[in-house]
């Protein structure tokens, strides 16, 4: 059996597990009952480690079996504070946090995402969600 | 950019900014040459702009920030004996192709290409990526569309899906 056919079969199995676990009220790439994380991935972000931050967040959430959607976005306009991420807890306003290295990312997951406790480094005065399109 | 995978991320970011809905990433490994080609259906550029973007002293942006995107790609490719080619047509899309002689002493490391490609697919759920990897031992192709079809409503941006795609690509690269 080709690798790809096997991979897609494994993916199907994983889908069934996830379907049993997350409550998908709607078929959407961005279901609003899941934690949403956007990582700013413009040249300035990439150069300052945004890719490593994004990979770390994905691995940590996966290891802890936390359901979320993690996406990339363009320049958020905070080049001085890259890597920058935006976190939206279900039913809450988005929060933008700057200088998120892997250590900071871990803190954000433990405190804010798991317990709703605010962390240092929140960039104030932005209640608009950043869309790069 | 300290490795080739970062260049991929950065070039695709241009496609995203250009409003592309389809991006094809081709990685062709033959002997000691890696040819990476990124094709998009974004807004494209006219001939004049294409000429200018490879020149480090110009950009269509008024203020220059960190990184130099295409000129930097060109420098890193040429210092290995490779080259960069850009073809574009306004309203149609853009092709960026770069060759690297990977055994050359001045070639930057490849970096984590599987993880980078997985981040692109799961990080941009609205863009249909097609990844093609060709090696002397065979070839592999996967698209966002195929993955989403299997997922049947489970978000492609879920962490577990990303880890899955990363591991799948690791087997192929
Ligand atoms: N795929 C593309 N589609 C349309 N325009 C592009 C594309 N890639 C590059 N460009 C144009 O070339 C310019 C220079 O790109 P780049 O060297 O990556 O620097 P930057 O992205 O920081 O502006 C971009 O600002 C854009 O106008
Ligand atoms: Mg760029």
CATH number at residue A28: 3.40.30.10
Report the complex ipTM. Answer: 0.89
Query: CA angle at residue B22 from B17 to B24, to 5 degrees?
Result: 100
Please state which of the ranges A30-34, B78-82, B120-124 shows the lowest mean pLDDT: A30-34
Split into its structural domains, chain A has a count of: 1
Q: Whose CA is nearest to atom 18 of ligand 1?
A: B69
Residue-level pLDDT at B60: 54
Residue-level pLDDT at B165: 97
Confidence band for B128, pLDDT divided at 50, 70 and 90: very high
Confidence band for B55, pLDDT divided at 50, 70 and 90: confident
**From CA B119, how far away is CA A64, in angstroms rounded?**
19
Q: From A42, which residue of chain B is nearest by alpha-carbon distance?
A: B13
Neighbours of A20 (CB within 10 A): 8
Minimal CA–CA distance to A109: which of A64, A43, A76?
A: A64
CA of A112: how far to CAs of A93, B7, B131, in Å? 13, 32, 35
Kindly state if the Cβ of B114 falls inside 6 Å of ligand 1: no
Mutate which: A45, A65, A72, vs B, most B CBs within 10 A: A72
Confidence band for B65, pLDDT divided at 50, 70 and 90: very low
Distance from CA of A39 to the nearest CA of B (A): 9
Q: List, as one string, the DSSP characters of A40-94.
A: E-SHHHHHTTHHHHHHHHHHHHHHTT--EEEEEES--S-GGG-S-EEEE-TTS--
In the DSSP assignment, the letter for residue A14 is H
Q: Any chain A CB within 8 A of the CB of B162?
A: yes
Q: What is the mean pLDDT of chain B?
A: 92
In the DSSP assignment, the letter for residue B132 is E
CA B119 to chain centre: 12
The answer on pLDDT for B62 being more than 90 is no
Kindly state if the Cβ of B94 falls inside 6 Å of ligand 1: yes
Q: From B115, which residue of chain A is nearest by alpha-carbon distance?
A: A55
**From CA B156, how far away is CA A28, in angstroms rounded?**
10
CA A12 to chain centre: 23
Q: Is pTM, for the whole model, over 0.80?
A: yes
Please state which of the ranges A62-76, A102-116, B53-67, B82-96 shows the lowest mean pLDDT: B53-67
CATH class held by domain B4-172: alpha beta
- Which residue in the set A7, A18, A74 is minimally distant from B16, CB to CB? A74
Quick check: is A34 in a domain?
yes
Residue-level pLDDT at A130: 53
List, for chain A, all residue ranges whose pLDDT scores fall below the cut of 70.
1, 23-30, 125-133
């Amino acid at each position: 059996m080709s690798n790809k056919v096997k991979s897609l079969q494994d993916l199907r199995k994983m889908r069934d597990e996830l379907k049993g676990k997350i409550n998908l009220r709607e078929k959407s790439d961005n279901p609003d009952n899941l934690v949403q994380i956007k990582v700013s991935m413009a040249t300035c972000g990439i150069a300052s480690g945004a890719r490593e931050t994004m990979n770390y967040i994905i691995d940590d959430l996966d290891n802890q079996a936390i359901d979320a959607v993690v996406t990339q976005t363009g320049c958020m306009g905070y080049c001085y504070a890259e890597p920058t991420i935006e976190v939206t807890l279900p039913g809450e306003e988005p929060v933008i946090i700057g200088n998120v290295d892997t250590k900071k990312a871990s803190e954000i997951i433990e405190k804010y995402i798991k317990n709703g406790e605010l962390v240092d480094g929140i960039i104030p005065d932005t209640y608009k969600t950043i869309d790069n399109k | 950019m300290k490795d080739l995978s970062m260049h991929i991320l950065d070039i695709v970011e241009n496609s995203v900014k250009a409003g592309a809905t389809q991006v094809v990433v081709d990685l062709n490994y033959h002997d000691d040459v890696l040819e990476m080609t990124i094709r998009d259906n974004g807004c494209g550029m006219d001939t004049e702009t294409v000429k200018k973007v490879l020149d480090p002293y110009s950009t269509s942006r008024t203020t220059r920030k960190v990184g130099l995107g295409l000129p930097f790609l060109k420098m890193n490719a040429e210092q290995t004996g490779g080259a960069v080619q850009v073809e574009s047509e306004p309203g149609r899309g853009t092709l960026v192709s770069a060759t690297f002689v990977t055994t050359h002493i001045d070639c930057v490391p490849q970096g984590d290409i599987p993880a980078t490609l997985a981040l692109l697919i799961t990080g941009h759920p609205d863009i249909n990526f097609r990844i093609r990897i060709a090696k002397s031992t065979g070839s592999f192709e996967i698209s966002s569309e195929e993955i989403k079809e299997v997922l049947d409503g489970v978000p492609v941006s879920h962490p577990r899906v990303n880890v899955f795609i990363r591991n799948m690509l690791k087997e192929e690269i």
